[in-house]
Each structure stands twice: as structure tokens, then as C-alpha cells.
Amino acid sequence: MDSTDIEVLAAAVKWSAEGRRAMLATVVHTWGSAPRPPGSMMIIRSDGHVKGSVSGGCIEDDLIRKVQAGEGVQDFPQTLVYGLAADEAHRFGLPCGGTLKLVVEPVTPTSGLAELLAALRRGQLIQRRLDLHDGTVRLAPADKAGPLQYDDHYLITTHGPQFRLVIIGAAQVSRYVANIALSLNYEVFICDPREEYLDEWDIPGVQLSREMPDDLILRLELDPHCAVLTLTHDPKLDDMALLEALKSPAMYVGALGSRRNNERRRERLALFDLSPAQIGKLRGPVGLYLGSRTPPEIAVSIMAEITAVRNGVEILQKYPQPEATA
């Protein structure tokens, strides 16, 4: 779950506790080139204050107007469709052919949002089932993340914890990776027991650790919402993290270095209690091939690969094959 969604839920819970009327809008279906995907959320307070987004802006304006004026505001969920006609799509700023369907529900103490938010902050994966007829909500633990489900009776959404990125090494590339990851809503950890590196870290918004890398990996109890990057160029530190990260269910484990260095790294890892399948999870050289040379370019290539893995996009070829020699 993105931190933006956490902000929406937090605002909804806060406003409800204050006794303010608010409506939660969720994108449940799109056709064509819709601006925001299914599952996107927005909370609208009766005085027009909002958190989140369901489109590029014009639909938000119409929803705010409706809520402020009390138009169509009901005590039960309702469905709204924007963009069916060409003139409406143009009026609301939707791309050509873009149409989206929203479920708008009143936020009440029985909406289950406070319980959902608390579970997410504990790192749990939760399914929320909204009855579209009477507005009742049921929360239940989920085994895995799944797509939004919507029909005439229920809206079922699965909410998971914020994605986490653990970076081993507080070097120059780490700074650029951390900045990009923060903009992509990751919770970022920087681990480096070397004082001369971590003492110079000045990028806000990350959690710093002076622990040994393997101790931090074990303490964080990595799950499928986690990615691990080793960027120190020091095998003693990088390998310590990899030995634990490769045993975990982390969605991504990558190591900076050339092909030859990563071949040697795999040979070293094979000397420990790792299976070939676990070693095979290691992504190295890390990142997509973009012809990157500078630290910012390398950071872009790394986060591009992590994004592809997170979104389930198959990476056919990362780097050009080496030329054959006679």
C-alpha cells in the first residue's frame, strides 16, 4: 500500500473521530485511458477538504462540489460513473475514451477504517469487504495481495503494509536511490556500521541503522513487501546482508557490482547454508541496462528494476551479452 493511501485512511479516521461528515471515494473500474487505477482512494470532507486522488483533478472538483452541496450524499454506498459521453469526458479532463467508475461511501465508526489503519501500521495484510446495499463492512486477514473485486453486491479490497527498501551502505549512490524510493512511497532504511559514512548522512525521511547488516535484516523480519540493496562494495558487509536476505521472502534482493564481481559473490554465497534456488534470487549486476555511468543514472536503473519486479513485469534482458572471443 502506498503512503498516500495511508494518508487517506488516517484523514478519514481523524475526521470521523471529530464528528465531521466525510465521504470515501474508491476507483472500482476503468475503461480506456483512465488517469488513476482501480483501488485509488480519495476522502472528501463536508467543507471541501480532501486527501488522495481519483483522477487528474476535474473529477475531484465535481465530487467536492457534490459533497459540499449535499447532492446525492446518502447514508449508504453509491456508484458514480464519469466519462461515458464524449462531452462529459472532455468536461472532466479524461483522456480520449477514458471512463471510470467510483464507489462513494459515507465514513462512519462502523466503516472499519480505524481498525484497518491500525492493522496496516502493524504490518498486516487485510481484506475489506463492503456491502454495497447496507454499507456494512467486514475485515479479515488476507494470505496474499489480490486485485480489487467489484460486483453489484460487494466491493472487496486488499490492503497491505507500505513497501520497504533496505539499503546497505550510506555511499553516494545510496543517496540518490533513497531519494527516488522516498518519492515512490517506500519506507527507506539505511544501514552502515561505518561511522565515517553514516555520520555524513543528511537526507531526511529515512531510518538510519548502525547495526551489522545481518542483524538489521533479521530484526526487520522481511516480507514480500520488502526490497534489499547492497551498495557498499565491501564483501564483508554486503555478503552478511545477502546471506539473510536471500533466505527471506523479500520480493527483491540486489547487489551492486560488475558481472565478474557478482559471479565471485555467488561463489562465496555457495559456501554457506544457501540453496541454489536462494542464490538464484540474487539480482546482480543490479539495475536495468540504461547505459548508466553517474550515481544518479545508476540509481534510476536500480529503482526501475525494483519497480518492474514490484509490478510483475518480466525483464527479458538486463544487459547486452558479452561479445564472443575467437
Nine-digit cell string for 131: 456491502
CB of 253 closer than 8 Å to CB of 166:
no
Please enumerate, as own/partner, the contacts of 137-143 that have beta carbons within 8 Å and a separation of 24 or more.
Answer: 137/110, 137/111, 137/112, 138/112, 139/112, 139/115
Q: What is the pLDDT of residue 326?
A: 34
Domain residues of the chain, as ranges?
3-159, 164-310
Please report the DSSP string for 53-101 in residue order. -SSSSHHHHHHHHHHHHTTT--SS-EEEEE-SSHHHHHHTTPPTT-EEE
Residue type, 147: P
Q: What is the pLDDT of residue 84?
A: 56
Spans of the chain below 50 pLDDT: 322-326
Q: Could you please state the CATH topology (level 3) that the domain comprising 164-310 is classified under.
A: Rossmann fold (3.40.50)
pLDDT, one tens digit per residue, over 114-151 is 999 999 888 788 999 999 999 999 999 987 777 899 99
Q: What is the pLDDT of residue 2?
A: 61
Q: What is the pLDDT of residue 36?
A: 75
Rounded to an integer, what distance in angstroms lies between the CA atom of residue 287 and that of residue 265?
A: 17
